[in-house]
Structure 1
Amino acid sequence: MANAFVAGRTVLASEEQALVEARARLLGPAYRLMYNSPLHFVKGEGVWLIDAAGRRYLDAYNNVTSLGHCHPAVVEAITKQVATLATNTRYLHEAILELADRLIATMPNGAGHLMLTCSGSEANDLAWRIARSATGGTGVIVTETAYHGITDAVAKFSPSLGSAVELGSHVALVPAPDGRTGDPCESFPRAVEAAAAKLQRHGVRPAMLIVDSMFTSDGILADPSGFLSPAAEVIRRAGGLFVADEVQSGFARTGGQMWGFQRHSVVPDIVTMGKPMGNGQPVAGLIVQPELVQDFGRRARYFNTFGGNPVSCAAALAVVDTIAQTGLMENVARMGERMRKQLRALAVRHQALGSVRGAGLLCGVEIVDGTEPDAIETARIVNGMRNRGVLISSCGRNHNILKIRPPLVVTEEHVDLLVGTLGEVLAAR
């Protein structure tokens, strides 16, 4: 939540202050900056971001460039393709077909259609349209601090955007599966069932349950594995679809598998994807079970001017190739386990650290004052890490969960630096 990090800004150098003032003048009031003291980066290199003074920062926040900044394979693929052809999907081209074939093969049943967009917001918007067409319903069930995008339709079921962005009357919220209401394997499906029944009592037929498979905005909730499978069956019995939003948890982020939902032994009706898909090149999309898109395809032409262009497809193929050929899934699993082990050891020495959770290189650390969430200390830690050259963020309904998601290519040295820096910040409390 960027707003948590802007109070009490420090005095900026004249060049940075000029940039801040130019942003306000040229971009308007809706844009936000991270951290108490804004950062001005001029270069990215692997796990590092480099500012105008040449200082290097370990980027443990940005999960878009998940292979690392300016990854050579992606840079080469983009450069070669943009110098050859950049057009749209209304012409024949091999790249989009190869990408579709490769991604569909990663699905549990090896079936589906790939439809490409430019952003995860667009992908979830398209999933919403398909779900309405396939089910005849309009109701949407999401968790209470979910984030699924910023289009008009999707913002209506993204409660993490805040009270200023109204939820739709067709939207039902369920508690995040964080144990507050009991074992998520039992409580989460029951909550979905109750939400579907509530929608139906108000004359709203459920169209879909959509979840970020790692519940990132809710506080990064990975365990216990398996609770999504009965919840998917609940929404299907109510006439809706189960949509796995993999925009934040996909492309090997959770370690050992390509997609976050695979930890739950569930086959989604629709899988949406984006963010790390092009390692910085805009590309996103969804994979939908064939029978669900038939009616939509007959009645509505789908076209996206830039979604699926050969340059973005080349970038996405480079990402898929790199994950498959360089052992990244195994590295993510090893480094993620190393990071959580060290964080739990740190929690023994510092009472401000509560639960440590996550999977792979998506990790959440609860910050507490006694037993109460401590958003103020969370913001202090995030800014303290930034001042020491390590970038993280926060999430959760109480804004008290450290959100840590370094590039998939991090090494033991980087993990040790991250946790060591957190220890320094905690000691300076």
Structure 2
Amino acid sequence: MSDLPTRFFRFLNRTSLVVQIIVGLVAGCVVALLFPAAAQSLSLLGDLFVQALKSVAPVLVFALVTASLANHRRGQPTHVRPILLLYALGTLSAAVVAVVASFLFPTGLELVSDTADITPPSGVAAVLKTLLFNVVDNPVRALIDGNYIGILAWAIGLGFAFRHAGESTRQLTADLSAGVSLIVKVVIRFAPLGVFGLVTGTLAQSGFAVLLGYLQLLLVLVGSMLFLALVINPLIVYWQIRHNPYPLVFTCLRESGITAFFTRSSAANIPVNMQLCQRLGLHKETYSVSIPLGATINMGGAAITITVLTLAAVHTLGIQVDVPTAILLSLLAAVCACGASGVAGGSLLLIPLACSLFGISNDLAMQVVAVGFIIGVVQDSVETALNSSTDVLFTAASCIAHGDTVEVEDQQSV
């Protein structure tokens, strides 16, 4: 009997984390259906897990980027620039896919009279102004608020400055990075319990009955995201690596997308993506910069959400959309998506910007945002899973294109 805890922990170490998360998912569904009263209390496990990830992610990004740049050797490739190009291409492709899907399957909305108590950006200039002020934010406040633009700015600046520091200082940054990474690994080990709590809480509180009224809208949104994940993104990756992209695509969706689906936060999923990049054998100098950047600007799912919901409002109001306006909407949605917050529901706040292109008032646009929050149980989960898994996918594709070998689990090396 005394050996039972030891055998249990050995079993956990031998079992894949993904399998454990799936077990937590199934257990959460069962508990929510059979014991709904207890499910509300168990949701605390999910809240604690997400909060732990959100707490450690800003420190991890700051430590990794600073250490990576401070200890970077001259002439050592990082491949960050081509990854940024892939991010931009993927986000723009997502907006185009959403426009086509919205034209093929026009969707109407039952706009409600109440509006969400949220102040959206007043225009693209407001978004750019916010981004600029985020860059020069106080570093301590940036860490506390999870301002990843400010965190990246300070980490990059200090990383370059520490290149001229003594060897002991550079080693200190590396040791700090390793220490924070160890804490992150401990937090991630609790992912099955976190998913269990998130599922029980969500099902017990909301259920899925509220989603039936917006089923067609959800199908267009989720269908567009799946098309991007399973068709467009693999085509982009194939263009880069000239090999079958699907082993890498499915690995990223399985290892990164599942946890992102439940945490619903690209920022909170940064530690998971860091670990996946490490297991794939990618260069730390590359992914320690590209993954935090991707969580901030690689928002293909957000571009789809902004475009589909905007065109749903346009269709509801009977506004005619010509091809040039659709192209302009795609560009605007891609730019707006890059400014989407890394937290749950961040893309919804930028819908009024896209609606303004068609002269839709702010009051009506905020009603569309309210609809977005109603379907956010599914929409935001799928969107975050797409965004976060694509960060790793494009990082790995760029590394392979530059001659690196990536170890895809259960598959041959790519």
Normalising by structure 1, we get a TM-score of 0.24
Higher relative contact order (CA closer than 8 Å, sequence separation 6+): 2
Normalising by structure 2, we get a TM-score of 0.24
Pick the structure with more helix per residue: 2
